[in-house]
Amino acid sequence: MLELPILFLDEHILAVNKPAGLPTLPDGYDKGAPCLINLLKQQYDRVWVVHRLDKETSGVIVFARSAEVHRALNIAFDSREVSKVYHAVVIGVPEWDEHTIDLPLRPDGDRRHRTVIDRQLGKPAVTRLRVIERFAQHTLIEARPETGRTHQIRAHLAAIDLPLAGDDLYGGKGATALIARTALHAYTIELEHPATHQPLHVEAPYPPDFTQALRQLRGQ
């Protein structure tokens, strides 16, 4: 059984550092393929999904351990009371240090089932960006999505010509020598604990492939 890195655990909440390549939910075409929720249920009995990460995205993901906590967390996410920070390696070097993308998104908007910018039919979507470190042809960026649209960060970055390294679907081709998957990591999540009502901050260390990509860019 795959050993999942547990970042936080009590009787109410379970937070995991999801490995890249592992889907959050069962595959619609291959019900028997490994997925995060089924692996967790084997170890922790009943677990409720609160939010998701793309299959190729690594990092912190939170689950509820009771129906009551599940409801409370759903309300917190829907009310935008949860703060999520992602770290992304993009192709390109922007001149700005901070930037906000406010572009409406529509999922499954083309033949490749991508999320697309759609100013008429799209739903509001806002992502705040900050440069962490610049390299010759890439940049490490902090992304704070204020909304939770499908592929929001990937679509927004592609829309400003800064596609994620390794993201073939949204234009980040030719970066497999750097990283063999979408270079997106869910770094932190902050929320109010639904039982204690205390602030909860959970941070997910970079996985080896993300760390190695940064070392390569730094020439280490």
pLDDT digits (tens, 9 = 90+) for 55-69: 999 999 999 999 999
Give the pLDDT confidence of 126-170 residue by residue, as tens digits: 999 999 999 999 999 999 999 999 999 999 999 999 999 999 999
For the segment 161-197, what is each residue's pLDDT rounded down to a tens digit? 999 999 999 986 655 578 999 999 999 999 999 999 9
Fold of 6-217: Pseudouridine synthase (3.30.2350)
- Rounded Cα gap, residues 176 and 182, in angstroms: 9
Average pLDDT of the chain is 93
pTM of the shown model? 0.94
Q: Higher pLDDT residue, 18 or 173? A: 18
Question: Residue 130: what pLDDT?
Answer: 98
Domain ranges of the chain: 6-217
Residue among 52, 23, 36, 29 nearest 151 (CA): 52
Residue for token digits 């492939």? Answer: 209
Nearest to 195 by CA among 47, 64, 80: 64
Please say if the pLDDT value at position 14 is more than 70: yes
Q: Which residues are catalytic?
A: 54
Listed in order, strand segments (DSSP E) in the chain are 6-9, 13-18, 48-49, 58-64, 83-91, 98-102, 105-106, 116-117, 126-134, 138-145, 184-192, 199-203
97/131 Cα distance (integer angstroms): 5
Mean pLDDT for the stretch of residues 19-48: 86
